[in-house]
Structure 1
Amino acid sequence: MPRKGMRSLLFSPKMSTPSSPVSYFPSPSRFGFSPSRPSFSESVMNRTLEMGEPIIMKWNPESTTFAKVTSLFYDNRKEAIDFIKWVRNLQKAMKLFITGNSNSEKLVRAQNLMQIAMKRLQKEFYQILSMNRAHLDPESVSTRSSITSVRSSVSDFYDEEDDDDDIRIVNECITEVEDASSIAMADLKLIADCMISCGYAKECLKIYTIIRKSIVDEGIFKLGVVKLSASQVHKMDWNALELRINHWLNAVRTAVKTLFAGERILCDHVFASSDSIRESCFNEITKEGAMILFGFPENVAKNSKKLPDKVFRMLDMYTGISNHWPEIDSIFSFDSSSSIKSQALTSLVRLGEYTQTALKVFESAILKDSSKSPVAGAGIHNLTIEVMNYLSNLSDYSNILSDILADQPPQSNNPVPESYFGFTDSDDSPAPPITRHMAWLILVLLCKLDVKAKYYKDVSLSYLFLANNLQHIVVNVRTSNLKYLLGDEWLSKHDAKVQKFAATYERLGWSHVTNALPEDPTAVSTLEQVKEIFRKFNSLFDQVYRKQSVCVVLDSRLRDDIKVRLARKIFRGYQAFYNAHSAAMRKERNSTAVVRFVPEDVGHRLSDLFFGTIDSGTYLSIEPSSSHSQGP
């Protein structure tokens, strides 16, 4: 026993009334230790029974109606503190007295009195927990900055070794504490400390775990998280399962930051006197609810069809766990809670495996696309649109995907030269796996587009098709997080490829028109040669224009670039030739039949190019058409 406690128990210079439990024992100098007189331990026991029994019996829940219906801690806080003090004194007296007096009638009496006191404290403990559910809800408790701040605010004043000024200090402290949750937490700790020190930890824990576990389980249920079997998940329609996933995504933050965090703070505070008890208690309260919460993603990942469009929900759940992992690791830091953390990590693994498999299915869908119908106007293929929308959305999860793809580069079984990826990759500074994976999927798409370009009978349209689609890819990369994954080097190289495709289109599609005009307009010597050049230009320009007028270039920048280059070659060349010979042609009969276009006509027609309407093309199906009628 600490020296301070023994001194306050035995050597107080004053006597106190039964209502004041502190320092009531007579000094040892007042009685001797001769065989004819009571021993010191007997005197202590006698005095304890005499002074403490009235207070304890007053609150015997089986003795009076008053004791049954009244709460000690609610009715009279000062008397509640006295009650606890006398119980502790009784326990000390019993320990002092028990040696050599194990069969004593006084010891039996003291034990009976202790049992009455424990029943009272059990009742008080239950009432405080039950009546203060609103004040002890996890949200209120979890708003506290730390467990230490809670303890320092109130509970430190409830130390069992406090001296005569305890009641005054406690009352002053309670006056300073304004919210009811702090008072309730302090009272619970006071009772728990007393019951544990008196050997009634089991009874205290039983009450606490029953009430608090029901709160946790109810909280998980109200958040929309329920336990589902593997067969239930497998048979569930995707829309119904997605609703469950959305409930889970909304629940995980609240559960971690409020529900579990609040319970950990409360449990640590109430059972601060015993690490083993608070560990056991917290695990008992939260394990079932936590396992349901953190087991749900694993269940979904293992028992859902691996479809590319479902991967975003899996990544959302992965994010929900990984973003809150520091809190999960801190809250469930007990050894007994290791299975909860293990479940959370297992869910991450399963979600990662789902993602890897779904990306392989997505790659396979690109490779298996068998559409052979050319896109009208050499526009953007729906395969390109679908793939780039998908990859752009995936790039929003780049941090998560970096973890998932770290050990599984997608092109590991498909070695290709690094130049095909569009960036420099060396042993000294290798590209991250996610960068290589995204570049690989785009490369698979580009290879597929090369095949589809061959379906055009007009080779020039093949190159316009490639320019259109690669430009769409580049724009999507530049305007999404793919830009940060693939980098400026990738963008520069593919920008150059777009320009190369466009230049090839111009050469193949319009070279006959440009070649019809002489480089030097004044080098033509005869009028017949001038007429022939006009006739040839008229025919070729009209023919090529009609063919190319159905083409479309949706990207305004690329469209303007192509038209500017055509204008430089065709409009300026024709304008120079027209200006050089139009005066002579006007003197000829039927000149309008020979000179069908003035330069402005050519300019207007070139300006009107590439606004044709595009057909829907073909469609990349990343989900079976019957998926909504089947299980996920």
Structure 2
Amino acid sequence: MMSRLIGDMQRHRRTLSTTVVEETVAAAATLVSKWHPDDHHSSLFLHASSPEADHFLRAAADLHRAMLFFASDPTNAHNGHGLVQAHHLLDTAMRRLQLELPRLLAPPPAGSRDRLRALADTMMSAGYGKECISTFKEHRRAALAATLRRQHTTVQVQLSKLTWEQVDDNIQSWLAAARIAFSSVFPAEKELCDTVFAGDASVGDAVFEDVANNQAANLLDVAEAAVARARRAPERLFRVLDVHDALTEILPEIMSVFGDRSEVAKRGCSALFKAGEAARGALANLEVAIEKEPSKATVAGGGVHPLTRYVMNYLVFLADYEGALDRINQQQGSPERSWSIGWLVQVLMRKIEAKAGSYREAALRHLFMANNTHYVARKVAKIPSLGDDDVAKIPSLGDDDGEAQDAARRHVEAYVRAAWGKVLKAIAAADGVEVEEAVMQAVAKQEKWNQFSEETLHT
């Protein structure tokens, strides 16, 4: 008797529960029918009221729970019909949410992130996570690519078809685009993924990687391709150093957003290393170019040699990149040899001293050294990073700017002695004609020194 009573109570409770679930399904059916996915003209989240959108999400969750309820007793034929109906309605509701997802993402309107998260939670909980993630990734990939294209239009595979001048122009836009992308665009994308898939951090991380990794790799490809195209040419060094500076700046952002063990981080470190190696190669080639500068002709009147002007103006410009040079010298895996502006000035001065030997007249040799030493000293004074120890190692310059000027002055004095030597000899021989010619030659040489000295003040 007692067992029959308990059985009747259980059947009554199950019947009551079934009635409640069926009523819930019926209410959900009304709302799902109103917002059927075949209706593409209106948006549940953008056009309907906020409470109605919330009711729709709850209705979808109720349909999922109804399916679980009906599935708990598959032997009941009535439950089988309820399960089919609930599943059909749930699938329809999910298709509606899948339709709404891109609308909330393009672009995300104010306050939409909470709704995006609620929509994603509903789809993931109902077993439609694959559809949710696929739709999200497809839309965000396209949106991210469009954003980056507006910042920078070059595609890496096209660089091989461009001249260096075209590559150089594209790198200038890349420098700005890369900084914006890694400091702003990618962090914002990561934040969006983390917010929408906050229910499972691993899902958010995986979605972000699928959305952003290829775009990040494409940006780094441009840097690597441009560095390779520079071919370690000294005249292209400054653009390589610009790339090195940019990579140094954005690498911490890459580590923070993508993770220090991510493929993007590895690519960033590789690109930075390659830029450093390319810079070292360009500096090595510059040293060789200075040492092997082939011209044999002397500069008329012992003036400043074109090599001196080119190299010193180059090094003054290079001084703006002292920080990059220091980082490259400290770069892990670099050879023991360190590159510095002071060393390259030493290389130049040794070459200038060698070129002075091409003059037959002692006076012109000293005038050539005086002009070139004076020019180098003035340029060195514009490079604050060169300390006294650096200057002391430079042939003919001494320990500081004062000694450099003294060195130039000594060459001038030697030049004057040599230039006026003929005058003194002519006077000693009491030959008036030779005295006049010697004086005119000496004065002419003196005027050349004055002229070249004046020119160095403005070059």
TM-score class, shorter-chain normalisation, is: 0.7 to 0.9
What does 1:494-513 correspond to in 2, within 5 Å? 495=401, 496-507=403-414, 509-510=416-417
Kindly indicate whether the alpha-carbon contact (under 8 Å) linking 2:419 and 2:445 is maintained by their aligned counterparts in 1.
Answer: no
The CA deviation string for residues 262-310 of structure 1, in whole angstroms up to 9 with x for no partner, is 2222222222222122112211211222111111111222344331101
Q: 1:398 aligns with which of 319, 322, 332?
A: 322
Could you give the per-residue CA deviations for residues 578-625 of structure 1, whole angstroms, max 9, x where no partner exists? xxxxxxxxxxxxxxxxxxxxxxxxxxxxxxxxx9xx9xxxxxxxxxxx
Is 1:467 matched up with 2:373?
Answer: no
Q: Structure 1: how far apart are the matches of 2:8 and 2:22?
A: 15
* 2:144 corresponding residue in structure 1: 216
Does the 8 Å CA contact 1:272/1:278 hold for their aligned counterparts? yes
1:311-322 paired onto structure 2 within 5 Å: 311-322=237-248
Query: What displacement does 1:213 show?
Result: 0.7
> 1-side partners of 2:252 and 2:217: how far apart?
17
Flag the 1:54–1:547 CA change in 2: closer, same or farther, 3 A.
closer
Matches within 5 A, 1:464-543: 464-483=367-386, 493=399, 495=401, 496-507=403-414, 509-510=416-417
Q: Give me the whole-angstrom Cα distance separating, in 2, the residues matched to 1:512 and 1:451.
A: 21
Report matched runs for 1:143-222 at 5 Å.
181-222=109-150
1:117 maps to what in 2? 93
Per the TM alignment, residue 369 of structure 1 is displaced from its structure 2 partner at its CA by 1.1
Residue 49 of structure 2 is matched in structure 1 by 76
How many residues align structurally?
439
Alignment partner for residue 267 of structure 1, among 193, 199, 205?
Answer: 193
1:36 aligns with 2:8: no
- Summarize the Cα distance change of 1:289–1:102 in structure 2 as closer, same or farther, 3 Å threshold: farther
Alignment correspondent of 2:3: none
Paired residues for 1:338-353 under 5 Å: 338-353=262-277
Which amino acid counterpart does residue 399 of structure 1 have in structure 2? G
Distance 1:68 1:302, change over 3 A: closer
Shift of 1:373: 2.2
1:228-267 correspondence runs (5 A): 228-229=156-157, 233-267=159-193
Aligned-partner Cα distance in 2 for 1:69–1:552: 85
User: Any unmatched runs of 5+ in structure 1?
Assistant: 1-30, 137-180, 413-432, 518-528, 560-610, 615-632
Residue 454 of structure 1 pairs with residue 387 of structure 2: no
**Is the Cα contact below 8 Å between 1:279 and 1:334 reproduced in 2?**
no
Q: Please name the residue that 1:176 is paired with.
A: none
Decide whether aligned partners of structure 1 residues 369 and 383 sit closer, same or farther in structure 2, where only a CA change above 3 A counts: same
Deviations 1:430-481 (A, max 9, x none): xxx34xx322211111111111111222213322322221222222122135
- Name the SS for the 2:111 alignment partner: helix
Work out the CA distance in 1 between the residues paired with 2:65 and 2:304. 88
Change in CA separation of 1:187 and 1:539 when aligned onto 2, cut-off 3 Å? same
Residue 292 of structure 2 corresponds to residue 386 of structure 1: no
Distance in 1 between the 2:53 and 2:225 partners? 50
2:413 corresponds to 1:438: no
Q: Which has the higher contact order (CA 8 A, sep 6+)?
A: 1
1:321-368 deviations in Å (ceiling 9; x for gaps): 211222222221286xx1112222221122122111111211111111
Q: Which residue of 1 aligns with 2:449?
A: 551
Amino acid at match of 1:493: D
Question: What is the letter of the counterpart of residue 244 of structure 2?
Answer: Y
Residues 269, 33 of structure 1: alpha-carbon distance in 2 compared, 3 angstrom cutoff:
farther
Change (3 A) 1:102 1:488: farther
Return the alpha-carbon distance in structure 1 between the equivalents of residues 384 and 134 of structure 2.
53
Rg larger for: 1
Q: 1:50 to 1:316 in 2, by over 3 A?
A: same
For 1:384-407, what per-residue CA distance to the aligned partner results, in whole angstroms no more than 9, with x for missing partners? Answer: 111111112222111112122236
CA distance in 1, matches of 2:299, 2:410: 20
The one-letter code matched in structure 2 to 1:397 is Y
Partners of 1:224 and 1:558 in 2: how far apart?
A: 42
Match of 1:355 in 2: 279
Aligned residue in 1 for 2:21: 45
What TM-score, normalized to structure 1? 0.62
Counterparts of 1:364 and 1:487, CA distance in 2: 20
Query: In 2, distance between residues paired with 1:111 and 1:485?
Result: 83
Aligned residue in 2 for 1:87:
60
Q: Deviations over 1:205-225 (max 9, x none)?
A: 111111111112222333334
Alpha-carbon distance change, 343 to 225 in structure 1, aligned in 2, over 3 angstroms: farther
Pair 48,346 (structure 1): closer, same or farther in 2 beyond 3 Å: same
**Aligned partners of 2:89 and 2:444: how far apart in 1?**
108
Using the TM superposition, give the Cα deviation of residue 80 of structure 1 relative to its aligned residue in structure 2, in angstroms: 0.8
Shift of residue 381, structure 1, vs aligned partner: 0.8
Selected match of 1:299 from 225, 228, 243: 225
Distance 2:302 2:8 in 1: 114
Amino acid in structure 1 at the alignment position of 2:155: K
Shift of 1:380: 1.1
Partner Cα separation in structure 2 for residue 102 and residue 290 of structure 1: 54
SS at match of 1:306: coil
Output the CA distance in 2 between the equivalents of 1:275 and 1:53: 33
Cα distance in 2 between the residues matched to 1:410 and 1:352: 12
Alignment partner of 2:87: what SS? Answer: helix
- Equivalent residues of 2:291, 2:351 under 8 A apart: yes
Counterpart contact for 2:302–2:371, Cα < 8 Å? yes
CA contact (8 A) 1:298 1:350 kept: yes
